[in-house]
Amino acid sequence: MKTIQEKCAEFNRMFLDELPDWQSRFQFLVDMGQSAPIFDKLEFSPEDRITGCLSTTFFKVKIIHGKLSVSGWSNSAIMLGVIEMFRQLFDEVSQEDVTRGDYTISFIDELIKNMTPSRADAVGQIVQKIR
Amino acid sequence: MNQDIIVTLFKYYSKFVSKEVLRKMFKQVSRKSVGYDEVVADILSQNEDAVIPDIDAYIYSANERFVSEKIPNSDGTILFVEYGAFSYDPTSANGISEKLAVHIACPYTMTNNDNMNEALIMNRMYAILCSILDAMQADQSNLNFCGTTKLVNFPVEIVSIDPSTLYDRIGFMAMFDYSTTDL
């Protein structure tokens, strides 16, 4: 099983180096969202809501036996893709590994820089929930 | 706080327009603003449940020069959303309000036209405009919008469009306020 460092490095490379421009990166997120497992919106409570009115988005991180369980729901294809990206990176990862924080998610920093303010804020909230 | 009110409305009204029409709108601009690719991807990934097939062009602008170039060069029925004046009060709920004018119009010339034909065209334009307003009313209760946002404040004023004021187009224009909060 890959470590969180390896998974993040892979995502950084794929997202920033292999995808040629932001058009294809956002399309990648849309595609990712469309192929993501479907969570029931009713699983989420108001505390899981990512605030902001552009779309309805929920993101939840639970700790089960010391490991992160990541899930989310959104009515926006891009935000579904973002949720799926975080799920693939952090689901089943030990809390200890996450809090140690010795991984780099530079693709997220770049993503935030290339989003509209409300969306950038929403992704920032997701990062905070993970950390 | 909704920092993206202009983009939010651009996206909202795009849902009434087919992907085919929308794709033609997005040119290869030389200097893309931050968020351009995100908004395009978002719009083109929306489901098409609300699309009104009669709409052949979508114009969302507060820029008279842009409008004066786009409308005369558009064929068929246009959805033209004109925004502009704001009222801004960050201290009260629904304190931010924007005046919107939603036009549904199509080309009309006096040549080879009669009064009956005009009435039929106007009837069609009115029906399209009302279907948009009905959809907005239905969306108002949808979770996409915060409780403090009002897509439309009814009653709206609907006026007919005189061809001399909109580049030889006839149809109807609905004027209303969109309001949201900055608390």
The beta-carbon neighbor of A23 closest among B7, B37, B149 is B37
What's the one-letter identity of residue B40?
V
| Number of cross-chain residue pairs from A and B with Cβ atoms under 8 Å apart | 72
Alpha carbon B183 to its chain's center: 26
Does residue A32 sit in helix, strand or coil?
helix
Which pLDDT does position A53 carry in this prediction?
Answer: 57
Q: Mind listing the pLDDT tens digit for each residue in B11-49?
A: 999 999 999 999 999 877 788 899 999 999 999 999 999
A42 touches chain B (CB under 8 A): no
Give the integer Cα–Cα distance in Å for A58 and A79.
Answer: 10
The beta-carbon neighbor of A26 closest among B41, B143, B146 is B41
- How far apart are the CA of A95 and the nearest CA of chain B, in angstroms? 31
Q: Mind listing the pLDDT tens digit for each residue in A109-128?
A: 999 999 999 899 999 999 99
B39 touches chain A (CB under 8 A): yes
CB contact under 8 A, A53 and B39: no
Give the integer Cα–Cα distance in Å for A82 and A126.
Answer: 9
Residue B172 near residue B103, CB atoms below 8 Å: yes
The DSSP output letter for B98 is E
Residue B181 near residue B149, CB atoms below 8 Å: yes
The beta-carbon neighbor of B8 closest among A25, A27, A54 is A54
- How far apart are the CA of A75 and the nearest CA of chain B, in angstroms? 8
Give start and end residues of each alpha helix (H) in chain A. 4-12, 22-34, 77-90, 95-100, 106-113, 117-130
Residue A7 near residue A89, CB atoms below 8 Å: yes
Closest CA to B178 of B14, B146, B163: B146
Which pLDDT does position A75 carry in this prediction?
Answer: 87
pTM across the whole model? 0.88
